[in-house]
Amino acid sequence: MSQEIVPSPVRWGILGTGRIARIFCSTLKALPQAQIYAVGSRSQETAERFGQEYHAEACYGSYEQLVLDPQVELVYVASPIGSHYQHVKLCLNAGKHVLCEKALTQSSAEAKELYDLAQEKQLFLMEAMWTKCQPAFLKVMEWKRNGSLGVIQGVEARFYTQATREHRLMKNRLQGGSLYDLTIYPLTYACALLGYEPKEVHALAAIDGDQVDVMESIQLLYENGSFASLTGGLACERQVSLYVHGTKGRILLESEHFFKAQRVTLTDWNNQPVETFDGTFQIDGYEYEALEAMSCVRAGRTQSALVPMEETIQVIRLMEACQAQWSHIAPCR
Ligand SMILES: NC(=O)c1ccc[n+]([C@@H]2O[C@H](COP(=O)([O-])OP(=O)(O)OC[C@H]3O[C@@H](n4cnc5c(N)ncnc54)[C@H](OP(=O)(O)O)[C@@H]3O)[C@@H](O)[C@H]2O)c1
């Protein structure tokens, strides 16, 4: 009788113990393919508290100690965006594979440097753009590829939420702002549908007194006349929606947040359903990026086909292009 070889669970190291690290570790706990092996925090006490909660074997009071542990295979970087470059580099230089929260870095030059370093060391590197690994997003991509949408002429997407003054997103020193945290979702979705190299990028933003972009509007125009109209912001009641307009089909996601939608319907021009897809999450939606990262690591791949580095870098380039157009905007308060 042949015996199935079950690969050993991937030993994760968790870098940073904030809000998303907690959510992600709750997901990892439910995956038999994963072991939350170690946690690293800037404080030993925090690492131990977190480690106890998620049953980590090793708890470190510095990120340097975390990456030096030879048992750690794959590090989940869950620090603020402005620290990602430094922390991912630390991991790669210590020979660790990395799944890093979005946005990967603040600049495309930094992202390219990390990508080159991962290639040189033959290590896995992926931005944790969880949407791109989820079943409903992959179904929309299939509708794009198989022509069910026809020519996609327009994408409209918005992601507004209300952040308190105390939130890291409202603080310049923590690299806050809407673009790299929220509007990155509409931008990523639009690029996945229309392409990563628009002919024109136009952007406006309201910048607050702490030099944080609290609202922005981005227009992308493509060679074939397709366009995207995207908005995001931190100073509004929560509103998240996506509308995709193709010559053959349409998608409207309003009741579910498009970046974590589970059910999606393709309709015709009379708004009659053509196909409905139900991609109910196995857990909470973060399992797909975790499973993708672990299967790439086990297969010896250096990047994910679902979240390729070139696309990650190109989205950061577009965000840089937006920021470059904001310098003349007066503070909004
Ligand atoms: N995919 C998603 O759905 C999602 C959702 C929310 C956030 N995110 C992303 O996840 C990242 C972290 O967001 P978060 O909301 O979890 O932030 P958070 O709650 O502020 O946690 C960030 C953690 O990073 C560590 N850290 C390292 N250097 C720091 C510094 N200079 N200041 C403050 N904390 C520092 C801290 O852990 P220690 O004290 O243990 O060192 C802190 O708890 C961001 O890139 C964000 O865009 C993704």
Q: What gap in Å lies between CA 183 and CA 206, rounded to an integer? A: 13
Distance 77 CA to ligand 1 centre (A): 9
How does pLDDT run across 37-85, given as a tens digit for each residue?
999 999 999 999 999 999 999 999 999 999 999 999 999 999 999 999 9
To test ligand 1's pocket by mutation, which of 17, 50, 75, 101 has the most ligand atoms within 8 angstroms of CB?
A: 101
What number is the average pLDDT over the span 12-39?
98
CA–CA distances in Å: residue 158 to residues 184, 216, 218, 257, 326: 10, 10, 10, 10, 19
What number is the average pLDDT over the span 306-320?
98
Is 77 in contact with 114 (CB distance < 8 Å)?
no
325 token code pair: 């157009």
If you take atom 37 of ligand 1, which residue's CA is the nearest one? 16
Question: What is this structure's pTM?
Answer: 0.96
Quick check: CB of 199 below 6 Å from ligand 1? no
What number is the average pLDDT over the span 181-185?
97
- For 308, phi then psi, to 5°, come to -65, 145
- Residue 5's pLDDT is 62
Whether the CA torsion 126, 129, 135, 138 is positive or negative: it is negative
Distance 82 CA to ligand 1 centre (A): 10
295 three-class SS: helix
Tell me which of 119 and 269 has the higher pLDDT.
119
To test ligand 1's pocket by mutation, which of 17, 20, 22 has the most ligand atoms within 8 angstroms of CB?
A: 20
How does pLDDT run across 193-245, given as a tens digit for each residue?
999 999 999 999 999 888 899 999 999 999 999 999 999 999 888 999 999 99
Is the pLDDT at 115 greater than 70? The verdict is yes
- Residue 209's pLDDT is 80
Quick check: CB of 289 below 6 Å from ligand 1? no
Which ligand 1 atom sits closest to the C-alpha of 22?
Answer: 16
Is 193 in contact with 152 (CB distance < 8 Å)?
yes
The three state secondary structure string of 219-273 is EEECCCCCEEEEEEECEEEEEEEEEEEECCCEEEECCCCHHHCCEEEEECCCCCE
- Residue 333's pLDDT is 45
Tell which residue, 23, 55, 107, has the closest CA to residue 314. 107
Domains annotated for the chain, with CATH where assigned, are 10-129+298-304 (3.40.50.720), 132-286+315-324 (3.30.360.10)
Distance 42 CA to ligand 1 centre (A): 12
Distance 112 CA to ligand 1 centre (A): 22
The per-residue DSSP string of 161-206 comes to EE--TTSGGG-GGGT--SIIIIIHHHHHHHHHHH-S--SEEEEEEE
How does pLDDT run across 131-173, given as a tens digit for each residue?
999 999 999 999 999 999 999 999 999 999 998 888 888 888 8
**What's the chain's average pLDDT?**
95
* CB-side neighbour CA atoms (13 Å) of 309: 23
